[in-house]
Amino acid sequence: MTIRRDAGRRDAGGDNGAGGNAPSCLVRVGGKAPRPHEVDADWLEAMLARNSRAAKIAGVSAQGIGTGQIGEAARFTIDYAPGPDSGPRTIVGKFSSQDETSLAVAAAWSLYERELRFYDTIAPHARIDVPVCHGAAMAADGSFALLLEDLAPALPGDQFRGLDLPDAERAVRNAARLHAAFWEQGEQPQFAWLDSGPLAQPFYAPEVFRDTWPRFRDRYAALLADRHIAVCDELAEHYDTYSRPRARPRCITHNDFRPDNMLISPERLTTVDWQSVALGTAEVDIAYLIGGAYDPVDRCDAEAHLLPCYLDEMHRQGVSGYTFAELEQEYRHFTFAGINVAVGAAMLVQRTERGDRLFLTMLDRHVSHVLDHHALDLIRT
């Protein structure tokens, strides 16, 4: 595999996508990116050297981690040769999936490209806590390798258990920092590569839901309640209304902002999995997080605390003229966001036992979220 420097994939005019002159962590490579078991000392040493890590690596071992369905992850333990320089003892690597369905979705929505370019050009300016990028390679065939700071012993959040309220507050404040950093910048040309079209919810055009919902309904028919079917049928019928672009400022949004994509320790709450980063309406992340992280009984109390926290942090970050009424209105609209992800992801990525349980849990919670906020009234007009 040949590594080459590539400045040509940046946006026209030489802008790196977010301003500033930070060195690139991303290289373009010929052929294929390595699989986790193919990463050796020479390749890893060359990647780290791009980020001023000159240490010689004597050996490296890999252990698979995570439960991702659109990619693979591994933890690398590194042995350095004797010398004055060294680097991180462990690194987490992300790699493309080997499942053909997941690969097709990643290619169609540029998911791998989005994540690598996020770490390369957006993360330094995003204000949100993200892992340090130690290097990234994008191959000609669309495969990739991404080397990130190992945040162990921080633990991933659990979508089924949800978030304790203090951690949820940290999460919504993190989201506010991301949104505020790029508030009202969604129409700037240097961010055009983040656009997924004129949609209220990035990626989820009407044809996506109308294609995946009937297949989801058939696959899980024995596990769906009448209310699940009623809400999703109506969403499919009125999806064009839901999908219209919002008359709100666009900013950079995560679009899969949920506990599973957070690494949590007493000191930090770090957001990972940036494959769905796009230009969107800020409240999509907040409604998706809160609606999916709590059962209906606990969600009401969580909303009462977390929505004011989010708004407070937006104001602290310099966003003015943003009212609680506007937040509530958009939050209510995006109670549908988690339904989209649950249904779409279930039918568009590799199927697993945990995935089935995850998507059904998400659907159940987000349907309750829609009903509790009478959000169907918004799309019937």
pLDDT digits (tens, 9 = 90+) for 29-68: 788 899 999 999 999 999 988 776 678 999 999 999 876 6
Architecture of domain 3-149: 2-Layer Sandwich (3.30)
Where in the sequence of the chain do the CATH 3.90.1200.10 domains occur?
155-379
Cα 142 to Cα 12, 112, 271: the distances in Å are: 22, 8, 24
Where in the sequence of the chain do the CATH 3.30.200.20 domains occur?
3-149
* pLDDT, position 24: 76
Q: Residue 293: which of 228, 358, 352 has the closest Cα?
A: 358
According to DSSP, the residues that pair with 148 across neighbouring strands are 92, 133
Residue 154: count of CB within 10 angstroms of its CB: 16
Query: Which H or E element spans position 48?
Result: helix 41-49
Apex 67 CA angle, 63 and 72, nearest 5: 55
pLDDT digits (tens, 9 = 90+) for 233-287: 999 999 999 999 999 999 999 999 999 999 999 999 999 999 999 999 999 999 9
Q: Residue 272: which of 96, 69, 132 has the closest Cα?
A: 132
pLDDT digits (tens, 9 = 90+) for 285-331: 999 999 999 999 999 999 999 999 999 999 999 999 999 999 999 99
Phi, psi of 155 (to 5 degrees): -115, 145
Instruction: Give me the CATH topology for the region 155-379.
Output: Aminoglycoside 3'-phosphotransferase; Chain: A, domain 2 (3.90.1200)
- Rg of the chain over Cα atoms, rounded to whole angstroms, equals 21
Q: Residue 366: which of 336, 330, 328 has the closest Cα?
A: 336
- For the whole prediction, is pTM greater than 0.85? yes
Q: Residue 203: which of 190, 216, 194, 211 has the closest Cα?
A: 194
* Range name among 4-8, 14-18, 147-151 with the lowest pLDDT average: 4-8
